Copies of this chain bind each other. A is one copy, B any other.
């Protein structure tokens, strides 16, 4: 049975651009417990006040399953471990499990700490023993173990034995610099298991792009405790990604009897942590990324639809993810049908409609349109062809002007002439940049007819230059992501003029919103109702 030990809240926060408040850490800890993590390392209590506050407040979390752990180093002086502020801080955190790290690479002990082998041995043994005598379970993190073992196996193993003698219940072998290869990890784990007889854990970093593989190699060699972080966050290239490790162990190595409450929560756990970190999620992430089960290419797609298991290594539902078909430049009939099906739209099996549709989509793609991130624009095209959508408004004229002078005067202004249900609305607005001005002017023009657009918000705006070699007259593709409460949709525009491309995407965005609400087009004044 393999134990899962999460260090997102401690080692994960060493990553660049990673910042978690105490409240964030409490939220993540509760979620990790709910998910079924066995151990949750909350921080290093005596290293900073934030971690101390975390442990104070975490005392009121009542975990269903997980054990909360505190992290720290061995004592500074072997003769006074009972007075060591670091160890006392660890005890004060009140947690049942304490993980302490010690030096197992001789160079770090002799050069870094400047102590003799015997002093280091005593530090480790006595620190562990003191914490044990206070009734805590103690895991020993053997820092730089693989480098240390390669360099001087006798020294490295002696330090482990010291921890075992002190009463440590796990020997956690750390590939601190992340440079070890899987076959070396496996060999070393086997030796340690044989020599110490204590359950072995593994803690890897991804500097060689091998952290997940190294963790799995350790488990296959007999390790029964795996440390890592959600989404692999952590210093430099990150820690071993527990998301990938858990999925691999549970789905591909069932003999390891790794377990969580519900593996189908894996994708939402990953997203949740990215959300709390305020980082965009990794679309390419194995198992949980948005692209992890996305298929591109005509022939291939029809085969995927025939029998998914032939094209997917696991059923995406097992990890809470789903299959996606990308409508791309390789778009054939089958891609369009699949996408329509996903959107819940029925397209006649044969006839002109599907042919016209394929032709139209191909033309648009040739112009530089792409619907990967703009499914709303794609749906409008479909619905228009099927006769179920008619645009809610028409932009008859647009004029944008951008003026700036050396004295700092700046005016970005948009003027629009918009036709709605036979009426013409002529509006103007100033904005922060020309696209913002256009957005404001369009809303102003429409809001009288469609108050529903008041609640929508532009949340993302992307520009990609196509045909880059054409310099400043290149075509650009603009992708806009709009939200209304919890739901979001993407639209696209393409032109050599970035303002025009943006306007196209804005138009689609508002039309899509009105379409999904089945808003009614106002009748021209004087017309019968």
Question: A113: nearest residue on chain B (CB-CB)?
Answer: B303
Q: Does A222 contact B (CB under 8 A)?
A: no
* Cβ 8 A contact of A297, one of B14, B209, B293, B438: B14
The B-contacting residues of A in range 177-230, CB under 8 angstroms, are 177-179, 181-183, 206-210, 212-214, 216-217, 220
Cβ of A108: which chain B residues have Cβ within 8 Å of it? 310
Are B498 and A434 in touch, CB under 8 angstroms?
yes
Please tell me if the beta carbons of B252 and A179 are within 8 angstroms of each other in the complex: yes
Assess whether A406 is interfacial by the CB under 8 Å rule. Answer: yes
Instruction: Return the contact of A208 from the options B178, B182, B286 (Cβ within 8 A).
Output: B286
Does A169 sit at the interface, judged by CB under 8 A? no
- Nearest chain B CB to A108's CB is how many angstroms away? 6
Inter-subunit contact B112/A303 (CB<8 Å): yes
Question: Does A461 contact B471, Cβ atoms closer than 8 Å?
Answer: yes
Most chain-B CB neighbours within 10 Å: which of A15, A394, A498?
A498
Q: Main SS of chain A's interface residues? A: mixed
Q: Which chain B residues lie closer than 8 Å to A296 at the CB level? A: 14, 16, 235
Query: Taking the complex as formed, is A17 at the interface, i.e. its CB lies under 8 A from any CB of chain B?
Result: yes
Q: What are the interface flags for A491-518 relative to B under an 8 Å C-beta threshold, 1 for contact and 0 otherwise?
A: 0000111111010001000000000000
* Known contacts A16-B372, A236-B294, A463-B498; A177 and B312 CB within 8 A of each other: yes
A523 at the interface (CB under 8 A from B): no
Q: Is B438 touching A23 in the complex (CB atoms < 8 A)?
A: no
Check if B181 sits within 8 Å of A252, measured CB to CB.
yes
- How big is the A interface, by class? 35 or more
Residues of B within 8 A of A217 (CB): 182
CB of A397 within 8 A of CB of B402, answer no
Q: Is A412 an interface residue (CB 8 A)?
A: yes
CB A417 to nearest CB in B, in angstroms, measures: 8
**A334 close to B (CB within 8 Å):** no
* Contact in complex: B307, A111 (CB < 8 Å): yes
Residues of B within 8 A of A471 (CB): 436, 439, 457-461
Kindly state the separation between the CA atoms of A289 and B237 in the bound complex, as whole angstroms: 8
* Assembly CA distance A296 to B21 (angstroms): 18
- A residues 457-496 with Cβ under 8 Å of B? 457-469, 471-474, 476, 480, 495-496
Q: A314 an interface residue at 8 Å Cβ cutoff? A: yes
Report chain B residues within 8 Å CB of A462: 465, 468
CA distance A396 to B177 in the complex (A): 50
Q: Shortest Cβ distance from A479 into chain B, in angstroms?
A: 9
B-contact bits for A301-342, CB 8 A (1 contact / 0 none): 001001100111110000000000010011000000000000
17 A-B contact pairs sorted by A residue (CB < 8 Å):
A16-B296, A208-B244, A208-B247, A209-B213, A209-B244, A210-B216, A210-B248, A236-B291, A236-B292, A236-B293, A237-B292, A396-B406, A399-B402, A399-B403, A459-B468, A461-B472, A461-B474
Given contacts A16-B296, A21-B466, A207-B313, list 14 more A-B pairs with CB under 8 A: A16-B372, A19-B370, A19-B466, A48-B330, A181-B248, A183-B220, A207-B286, A209-B241, A209-B286, A235-B296, A396-B405, A399-B402, A402-B500, A435-B473
List the 5 closest A-B pairs by CB distance, nearest first: A179-B313, A213-B213, A458-B471, A209-B244, A432-B473
